[in-house]
Structure 1
Amino acid sequence: MKVIVIGGGAAGFFGAIACAEANPQLKVTLLEAGQKPLAKVRISGGGRCNVTHNCFDPVRLVEHYPRGGKALRGAFTRFQPKDTVQWYESRGVKLKTEADGRMFPVTDDSQTIINCLMQAADKANVKLLTGTGVKTVKQFHDEENKSYFQVELKNGKELKCDRLLIATGSNPLGYRWAKNLGHKIESAVPSLFTLNVRDPRLQGLAGVSVSNAQVKLGTGKHKIEQAGALLITHWGVSGPAILKLSAWSARFLYDLKYDSGLQINWLPEYNQETLKQKLITVKETNPKKKIVNYCPVELPKRLWQSFVSYIEIKPDKIWSEISKKELNKLVLEIVQGQYEVKGKGVFKEEFVTCGGVSLKEVNFKTMESKKCPGLYFAGEVLDIDGVTGGFNFQSAWTTSWLAGQAIATI
């Protein structure tokens, strides 16, 4: 039986290897349009490759997927981060866990992961064809009514196979082929990005960060809220809190053309009342200290001074002289700061999108299409995306491993 995998990224390689290793009798061909496969693996994690995350409980793991978590619940009981770690370590690649749970190769070099995948594919006799773009994908039936796929290459050649795995990431061509084969495609929009915020309070503070902030978008039923470290940048705000917020609000912000209000609580351990009481106490216990120089809470000094300046407290004013109105303004700036999002940036070079093949049309036990027998999907071509931290790679490893195993057992 002939198997073709389209897409030489993480999911394509992992699926081809899983299939070929599980059934050496199969002829597995992996097609990659570019000259160098695994390009996204190479640049991920700042060139270190954030392979997965050390969350080994499938119930907790799915909470990191704005789209696809429910579908992945069962899939993660069969192949999860613990299995990913074992897979790589059994092939000589040891992973390490960092303080935030992200897992990288101990070499801190994505080339280690690339070499491992390339060697595993070669050892399993996967036929890798680079510089081989695909033009069209069609399904036919022979005289015995058995289905097969015809893959037309951009160089004019045609390849036939019995089983086809599409693992083309967010490439529009993959969506087009899936749609032509009967699938509904959820529109693709960016999912992991920084926020452009031009505001005098943040001006000149690039590089300043807080270890834990609470950020909110929208109101009522449409309120989206996340927490985590926040980094001020030259163009606005970034960091884990913002990246998680961008993932969970991807479609919301897209519909608003990335023009929205953003609320930041720079000190989530406080609310308006508790912070107000804290500042009143400071006023009583440190009356002669200058407000601009004496920050009584865990805020970066430059950020505190920016807030003090913004609400027009004079530089020489001492705590005993702060008015009730000024104190209230200061409290609101810290726990309920209102900002305007005016566009989005990118998160390093790690482009992630939400959207893709509708999950309702895929059997998540096998990753086979419910619309087109013999067709399988894996990775980001599906309407799955995770927050930053190794979760997108993990869904790629899981879905492609399941697809490879299912194809191999036919």
Structure 2
Amino acid sequence: MTKQKNILVIGGGAAGFFAAINIAEHYPKLSVAILERGKQGLQKVRISGGGRCNVTHAEFIPSELVKNYPRGEKELLGPFHSFMTGDTITWFEERGVALKIEEDGRMFPVSNTSQTIIDCFLHEAKKHHVDLLYNHVVKAINIEDNGFLVETSQGCIACEKLVVATGSNPKIWNLLENLGHRIVPPVPSLFTFDIKDERIKDIPGVVAKDVEVKVLGTHLVSEGPLLITHVGMSAPAILKLSAFGAVELAKMNYNFKIEVNFIRQNHEDCLSFLMEMKQLSPKKTIFNTVQFGLPKRLWKRLVASSGIAKSMNWADCSKSFLIALTKQLTKAVFHVTGKSTFKEEFVTAGGVDLKDINFKTFESKIIPNLYFAGEVINVDAVTGGFNFQNAWTGAYIVSQSITK
């Protein structure tokens, strides 16, 4: 027997719940259901931010916020004028969830646990009579005269309007492609770099606070903190490169070279400073006089890589050694041989082609009454709460479009 719903949302994640709750709240006469393939939803919410849920980012200017989206920057500018960070904060606070801003701009629930966000969504879904249909694997989406017929592993559900909020789901993308949508092939985004190099071997946890990283042979460049890990490099400077270079780095099969400027100074200024050190601290050993605010372990590795002996003092250091040290500090080249997923928060670039979507409503340009929200479309962001903000914004605009 076929179930009947006014609105059906495929995907029990952040975007799916946000859309369904807002639809049901603003238009209580509509019957709204969420289809989720798993035993429970909101799993990405649960693991986000190390289990704390990085809800959004404290950036309140739309033109600045969109700069964090390698794909979707132009398209999201209008939507962010309709619903963005401040609206997200208000939405959660009105439902009893207070958020806090951390030093780097990331925003979390004051409770410091993602369960607070999950409990909020489940409470609101129950309050507004959203039907949660778990263990429903979507097998087919059919267009009918009065809407859609969705075939699932537990039977068929008919609806007037359909919202797809499944995130990066190849099976759903295939179904949408069969309906006439163009799908941009997915590639990983937001990953760390695998690097085997004596300069960073056995010093995991070391952080250079402000570096510049370039991918040699490309236009790709980023800046920010850099973390040395057990397998290579991570932190914002690397993650931003992986996001903005997702397509290009995939074409290189994740085998390329990067140039790191650990001190954000040019070659000439750095060499001039090191030459001055010969006059200012002639008797001190170079190895033990850490400069430029670098971590001690990293400084020692870069000094050693310059051919400078542990016992050498500044006075005895030749200009050729200082030039070698300058190169390590400002133009250190590392060979990247692969990638690793950034924690459990796997993000992909790819999905429904943005040209197929009306960003005033997030409705398909191909099929009327079909809407999209979240990462099912070809939008992705750097780390820091930006992917969730895209989900909230898209889901909210979908709810407004459907209930008008």
**TM-score exceeds 0.5:** yes
Q: Does 1:367 align with 2:366?
A: no
Alignment of 1:119-268 (within 5 A): 119-141=123-145, 147-155=146-154, 157-219=155-217, 222-268=218-264
Q: Does 1:406 align with 2:401?
A: yes
- Which of 99, 102, 108 pairs up with 1:95? 99
- Which of 93, 118, 123 pairs up with 2:122? 118
Corresponding residue of 1:22:
26
Q: Report the secondary structure of 2:340's partner residue.
A: coil
Q: Report the secondary structure of 1:72's partner residue.
A: helix
Shift of 1:311: 2.2
Shift of 1:368: 0.5
- Which of 266, 269, 284 pairs up with 1:271? 266
Q: Deviations over 1:87-119 (max 9, x none)?
A: 000000000000011000000000000000111
Shift of 1:294: 1.5
Q: Deviations over 1:372-401 (max 9, x none)?
A: 111110000000001100000000000011
Shift of 1:295: 2.2
- What is the rounded CA distance, in whole Å, between the counterparts of 2:182 and 2:298 in structure 1? 48
Tell me the C-alpha RMSD between the 2 structures.
1.0
Q: Does 1:42 align with 2:18?
A: no
Shift of 1:296: 3.0
Shift of 1:300: 1.1
Any conservation in 1 of the 2:216–2:259 contact (CA below 8 Å)? no
Corresponding residue of 1:144:
none
- What is the rounded CA distance, in whole Å, between the counterparts of 1:318 and 1:30 in structure 2? 69
- What is the rounded CA distance, in whole Å, between the counterparts of 1:233 and 1:97 in structure 2? 26
**Residue type of the alignment partner of 1:176:** N
Q: Report the secondary structure of 2:367's partner residue.
A: coil
Q: TM-score, normalised by structure 2?
A: 0.97
Any conservation in 2 of the 1:284–1:320 contact (CA below 8 Å)? yes
Q: Deviations over 1:230-263 (max 9, x none)?
A: 1100100011111111101111110000001111
Question: Larger deviation: 79-88 or 19-28?
Answer: 19-28
- What is the rounded CA distance, in whole Å, between the counterparts of 1:114 and 1:218 in structure 2? 43
- What is the rounded CA distance, in whole Å, between the counterparts of 1:115 and 1:218 in structure 2? 46
Corresponding residue of 2:379:
384
- What is the rounded CA distance, in whole Å, between the counterparts of 2:333 and 2:210 in structure 1? 17
Q: Report the secondary structure of 1:292's partner residue.
A: helix
- Which of 50, 58, 64 pairs up with 2:62? 58
Runs of 4+ in 1 over 3 A off after TM superposition: none
Question: Which runs of no fewer than 5 residues in structure 1 stay unpaired?
Answer: 142-146
- What is the rounded CA distance, in whole Å, between the counterparts of 1:328 and 1:75 in structure 2? 51
Q: Does 1:347 align with 2:342?
A: yes
- What is the rounded CA distance, in whole Å, between the counterparts of 2:292 and 2:239 in structure 1? 25
Shift of 1:39: 0.4
**Residue type of the alignment partner of 1:212:** D
Shift of 1:140: 2.0
- What is the rounded CA distance, in whole Å, between the counterparts of 1:282 and 1:405 in structure 2? 64
How many residue pairs align between the two structures?
A: 400
Q: Report the secondary structure of 2:151's partner residue.
A: strand
Shift of 1:404: 1.3
**Residue type of the alignment partner of 1:28:** V
Q: Deviations over 1:123-148 (max 9, x none)?
A: 1111111111111111122xxxxx41
**Residue type of the alignment partner of 1:130:** Y
Corresponding residue of 2:80:
76
- What is the rounded CA distance, in whole Å, between the counterparts of 2:135 and 2:200 in structure 1? 46
Any conservation in 2 of the 1:20–1:408 contact (CA below 8 Å)? no
- What is the rounded CA distance, in whole Å, between the counterparts of 1:315 and 1:21 in structure 2? 69
Shift of 1:81: 0.7
- Which of 308, 313, 328 pairs up with 2:308? 313
- What is the rounded CA distance, in whole Å, between the counterparts of 2:216 and 2:143 in structure 1? 45
Q: Does 1:109 align with 2:113?
A: yes
Any conservation in 1 of the 2:305–2:328 contact (CA below 8 Å)? no
Q: Report the secondary structure of 2:339's partner residue.
A: coil
Q: Deviations over 1:176-230 (max 9, x none)?
A: 12111110000111111110010010011111111111111133xx311111111
- Which of 10, 17, 26 pairs up with 2:14? 10
**Residue type of the alignment partner of 2:52:** R
- What is the rounded CA distance, in whole Å, between the counterparts of 1:392 and 1:174 in structure 2? 20
- What is the rounded CA distance, in whole Å, between the counterparts of 2:284 and 2:315 in structure 1? 8
